[in-house]
Structure 1
Amino acid sequence: MAIPMTAPTFADTLRDEGLVVVEVGDWEHHNRNHMGPWGPVHGVMIHHTVTRGAAATVDICRKGHSTLPGPLCHGVITKDGTVHLVGYGRANHAGLGDDDVLRAVIADKAPPVDNEAGTDGNRHFYGFECENLGDGQDPWPAAQLLAIERVAAGICRRHGWTERSVIGHLEWQPGKVDPRGFTMASMRERIAKRLGLEPQPAPLPTPSKPSVSLSKLIAAARTNPGMKGTPCTYAGVRIWEAALVDEGLLAKPRLDGHFGSDTVTATSKWQERLGYRGRKPGQPADGIPGPDSARRLGTKHGFTVVA
C-alpha cells in the first residue's frame, strides 16, 4: 500500500531507471479523478493495445474513445522502448477485477487465478499500455521488453515493492488476454533480478477453465443494453467478448461488458463462419449464442459452456 507519487516524481522515477520518457501534452493533470478515488496504489499493471504505430497508439491511449474516455493508462511503451506519459491519476485501464488478486498483490504473494470482477482496479494500479497487436504473432522487440522491465522495477523500487506487485491485465480481470506474447512470470523474473532480489519460483497452478452460462449469455444478448448504461453484471459476457476480439470479429474498445449491438453483430459473424444463417434466404445469423456456436468458441478459447 502506498500513496501515489506526485507526477514529477513519477517521471523522474522512470528516467532514473534509464528510460527515454516523452511527456505528452498536459499529462500531469489529465485523469479521471472526478469519477472516483486515485490511491492507495498497490502495484503496476501491464497491457497490450491491439494497435499498430506509435503515434496512433499514443493518441488513442491519451484520448480514449466514445465509450471509454482517456487516459487509458499512465504511460504508453512503444516498440522502440520509449515511454510516453499520457495521463496521471485515475485512468481507465484496469476496470473491475478480482479482489483475491488484489489481496495477493498487497500480501506480496503470487496472484491466484482470477475468477471475479468486482473490485476497482483503476484506483489501485499504475497502468502501462504496450504497443502490440496482441495476436500472438506481433513481435515484442528486446527494447520494448527491457522498457517494461525498467518501468516496473523503477516504480517497485520507489515504493519498496517486489516483483510480485507487477501483474498483467489477464491476471486481474476474467476474459482478458493481455499482455499476449510473453508471460508475466518471465517478466517478474526479470524485474526481480533488476531489483537485486531472488525471483520467486513461478507457481504451478492447476486452474480450471472459466465457465460461461449459455442461458445468461442468451438473456444478455436479447436484452441488448446497447452502448450506454451499466455493463452486464454477468462476467461471462466479458469472456465471450474477449474470445470474439481474439477472433478479429469485435474491436477491443467494444470489450466493455455490454452485449450490445456490436457484440450481437460479432456473434452473428462467428455463427456464419461456422455455416449458420438466418431463417430466411440471405438473412444473417441472429447473433444470439446457441449451444453449438457457444461450445465451439469456448473450446477454441479455453472456457466451458454450461446450460
Structure 2
Amino acid sequence: MAQPLSASAVLTALRAEGVRVVEVGSWRTHNRNSKGAWGPLNGSIVHHTVTRGTDATVRIVRDGYAALPGPLCHGMIAKDGTVHMVGWGRANHAGGGDPRVLEQVIAESYGARPTSPTKGNSNGTDGNRHFYGWECENLGDGKDPWPAAQYDAIVRVQAALCRAHKWSAKSVIGHLEWSSDKVDPRGFTMAQLRADVAERLKHPASWSPGTTTPAPKPPIEEDSMAGITKTDIFNAVWGTDAIAAPADAPDIKTNPTWQAQSLLKDVVARVRALQKAEAAQTAAITTLAGLVGKGVDTAAVVAAVQKAIADAVVKVDIDVTGTSGS
C-alpha cells in the first residue's frame, strides 16, 4: 500500500524513465475525488481505448461522456509513445473488480498472472480507489498494431510507478485481470509486459535496451582531434589485419615484415604494369594499322612494332617517375 504520488512527483518519475509527457490543461486538479477516496494505491492498471486518432482519444479520456464523466484515466499513451496526462486523483477507469486479485496484487503473491477474476464492474471491489490507470490508444480488436514506441512507453510508465513506490512488476495488471467483464488490453500479454517491466527495474531509470549505463556526455567545447599525431592516424589506418597482401603474392602475404609501405609500392607497380601493357597494345595496333596494304615484309613489321612498344613503355616510365627505367 502507498499514498498516491503527487502530480509533480509522477512527472519527475516518468521523465526520469525517459517518457515523453504532454500536460493537458488543468490535469493536476482534474479528478473524481468528490465521488470517493483515492488511495491507498496498490498498483497500476493498463487499458486500451477502442478509439483511433490521438487528439480525439485525448478528448475522450479527459472529458468522458454522458454515462461516464472524465477523467477516464490518469494518462493516455499514444501510438507514438507520448503520454498525455489528463487527470490526477480518482478517475473512472478501473470500476469494480475481484477482491482476490486485489489481495494478490497487494502481496505480489501470484505466479505468471493473478487468479482469473469472477467479479466485475457491477459487483466487485472499487478499483478506482486502489489503482493508477493508463489508457493506451488502440482499437482493441487484436489487429490494430502496437508500435514499438508505444509499447516501450507503456513499459517505461509502469516501471516508473513501480520504481517510485518500490513495487515489483506484479503490481501492474491489465483490466482483463481485474474485472470479469473486461478484455483489455488486447494485442500483447500482461505476462510479457510484466517481464519487460521487471527487466527495466534491474537497471537505472535512464536505461534503454542494449545498454547497461547511460551514454557518457561528450566533453564541452573540447577538440576531438586534440593530441592526435600523424603516427596515431597511420597506426589507426594501417595497423590492422584488415589490410592484407594480395592473394596472388604469397611470398609477401606470409612475410612478417609486410608493412603499409610495401603495399603501396606493390599497388604502384601494378598500376605501372597495366599502363605499360595498355600503351604497348595501343602502339602495336597503331603501327600495324599504318603498315597494312603497304607491302612491307614480315621482319620490317616485327621491328616496327617492337620499336613502337619500346617507345611507349619508356614514355610511361617518364610520365610516372620523371626518369626512364623499369
Q: TM-score, normalised by structure 2?
A: 0.60
Q: State the Cα deviation string for residues 216-242 of structure 1 (Å, max 9, x = none).
A: xxxxxxxxxxxxxxxxxxxxxxxxxxx
2-side partners of 1:55 and 1:109: how far apart?
Answer: 39
Is 1:188 matched up with 2:194?
yes
Shift of 1:2: 0.1
Aligned to 2:12: 12
Q: State the Cα deviation string for residues 72-115 of structure 1 (Å, max 9, x = none).
A: 00000000000000000000000000000000000012211100
Aligned to 1:68: 68
Q: TM-score, normalised by structure 1?
A: 0.64
Q: State the Cα deviation string for residues 187-216 of structure 1 (Å, max 9, x = none).
A: 00000000019xxxxxxxxxxxxxxxxxxx
Shift of 1:124: 0.5
SS of 1:76's equivalent in the other structure is strand
Is 1:141 matched up with 2:147?
yes
Aligned to 2:49: 49
Is 1:176 matched up with 2:179?
no
SS of 1:45's equivalent in the other structure is strand
Q: State the Cα deviation string for residues 235-291 of structure 1 (Å, max 9, x = none).
A: xxxxxxxxxxxxxxxxxxxxxxxxxxxxxxxxxxxxxxxxxxxxxxxxxxxxxxxxx
Please, which runs of 5 or more residues in structure 1 have no aligned partner? 198-307
Stretch deviating more after TM superposition (188-197 or 143-152): 188-197
Q: Name the amino acid aligned to 1:6.
A: S
1-side partners of 2:62 and 2:40: how far apart?
Answer: 23
Identity of aligned residues (%): 63
Q: Name the amino acid aligned to 2:177.
A: E
Is 1:130 matched up with 2:136?
yes
1:166 to 158, 169, 172: 172
Q: Name the amino acid aligned to 1:21.
A: V
Q: Which has the larger helix fraction?
A: 2
Shift of 1:12: 1.2
Aligned to 1:95: 95
Q: Name the amino acid aligned to 1:137.
A: K
SS of 1:9's equivalent in the other structure is helix
Shift of 1:116: 1.3
Please, which runs of 5 or more residues in structure 2 have no aligned partner? 204-326
Q: Name the amino acid aligned to 1:60.
A: I
1-side partners of 2:14 and 2:81: how far apart?
Answer: 12
2-side partners of 1:162 and 1:63: how far apart?
Answer: 32
Shift of 1:175: 1.7
Aligned to 1:112: 115
Spell out structure 1 runs of 4+ moving beyond 3 A: none
1-side partners of 2:116 and 2:24: how far apart?
Answer: 35
Q: CA RMSD in A?
A: 0.8
Aligned length: 197
Which has more radius of gyration? Answer: 2
Q: Name the amino acid aligned to 2:129.
A: R
2-side partners of 1:167 and 1:38: how far apart?
Answer: 18
Shift of 1:18: 0.4
2-side partners of 1:121 and 1:49: how far apart?
Answer: 18
SS of 1:174's equivalent in the other structure is coil
Q: State the Cα deviation string for residues 114-163 of structure 1 (Å, max 9, x = none).
A: 00132000000000000000000000000000000000000000000000
Shift of 1:11: 1.2
| Correspondences of 1:217-228 after superposition (within 5 Å) | none
